[in-house]
Amino acid sequence: MVNTIASWLFLAAIAQAVFLSIALLNPRQPEMRTANRLLSALLLIFSAIIGHAWLGLNHLYRVYPHSALAIVTLGLAVGPLLYLYLHAMLSDQPLGRRAWLHFIPFAVATLGMMPFYLRSADEKLAWMRQWHGWPWYLGLAAVAKLVILLLYLRASVRLVRRVPADSELVGDLRRLMRLWLASGALSVIAVAMAAFDIDWPLSVEMVDGGALIVFVFATAYTAMRLPLGYRPRTLPPAPVPAPKPRYADKQLSAADRDAFLARLQTCMEQDQPYRNGELKLEDLAAQVAMTPHELSQLINEHCGANFADYLNRYRVEALKTALHDPQLAGTSILDLSLIAGFNSKSAMNRTFKKFTGVTPGEFRDQANTAA
């Protein structure tokens, strides 16, 4: 009677795990894709392990010889999947490629088992017939898997505890973690029963499968309380650093600033380098014996303009002076603008109006009227 009830519970847990796995792959929740896929994979692994336990509970291993050791390496993937799932749920940081390193033991063990998996059904059946109980190496492997699982459970508990319990999701995850720990304890008991051939009223398959049933139904209960696709921000958003000043790495001293400003002003007024329409920052920096970085810093922070506007300011003043000069009344505005340092008529008109509010032609007319 007990075996019959347990058998139906196993089948119900398998169906529940498969149903949740499919539901978690909902493509309409892209923000939860990583976490949902990890939990879906975890539930599918548990459904496979519970299914294997169901075969043992009903003494069907020899009826299906390919079930021999079919799930022996899956336990190595449980801990990493659980930890990475919680990390994806509780953190906004992407997992990255290094997350795959957690699955190296599982991959190595699976590759090592491939020669056995590729055997025929008759060979596997013959292998099962020669053993009564677990071979010693399977017991050792089971202990190693449990140690790894418990280490990941410990890391998962610490991960959940670091997050303030200020949301319903975090509270549910903490309760779920306690049930998962209980599930892990039952797995330890199952391994001990198999390793020491303990004869209890409950079989090893029933205890081990029961441990996973706890996980599956606890997860399903959490899903009913709070949809697994919903995740409020459980971590406060990372503080946005204040924008670093453009020249924070090397500020000019007050003495250097005053000396450079005087040198720059003298150069602009006497040498008039702005009349060169192709003048670049590096060219002017070389003329005033400064680095381009120092000159750019000086102009931006102490001249109230960027480099282009700084030059155009002098060019507009030079053009205004020329437009006021009666001796240049017969010279075209375009020629005067080229002498002032402008490269084109459109650039000259746009810049002149920006600084004066009128076009060069209007400015000349106003000057003639005033005269």
Fold assignment, 2-225: Rhopdopsin 7-helix transmembrane proteins (1.20.1070)
Task: Give pLDDT tens digits for 313-340.
Answer: 999 999 999 988 888 888 888 889 899 9
Q: What is the pLDDT of residue 136?
A: 66
Q: Which of 41, 23, 63 minimizes the C-alpha distance to 223?
A: 23
Q: Which of 115, 109, 112 minimizes the C-alpha distance to 80?
A: 109
Q: What is the pLDDT of residue 238?
A: 44
What predicted TM-score, i.e. pTM, was given to this entire model? 0.54
Q: What is the pLDDT of residue 198?
A: 58
Q: What is the pLDDT of residue 168?
A: 57
Enumerate residues 6+ apart whose C-beta is below 8 A from 99: 84
Sign of the C-alpha dihedral computed for residues 85, 87, 92 and 98 taken in this order: negative
How many CA atoms lie within 13 Å of 322's alpha carbon, on the beta-carbon side?
Answer: 22
Integer Rg of the chain from CA = 39
Sign of the C-alpha dihedral computed for residues 11, 49, 99 and 107 taken in this order: negative
Average pLDDT of adjacent 10-residue blocks, the chain of 371 residues: 78 85 70 78 86 83 85 86 82 76 92 91 86 67 80 81 61 69 67 59 64 70 51 46 50 76 90 91 89 87 88 92 88 90 86 90 82 60
Chain-centre distance of CA 307, in angstroms? 39
Domain boundaries, the chain: 2-225, 252-304, 311-371
Q: What is the pLDDT of residue 318?
A: 92
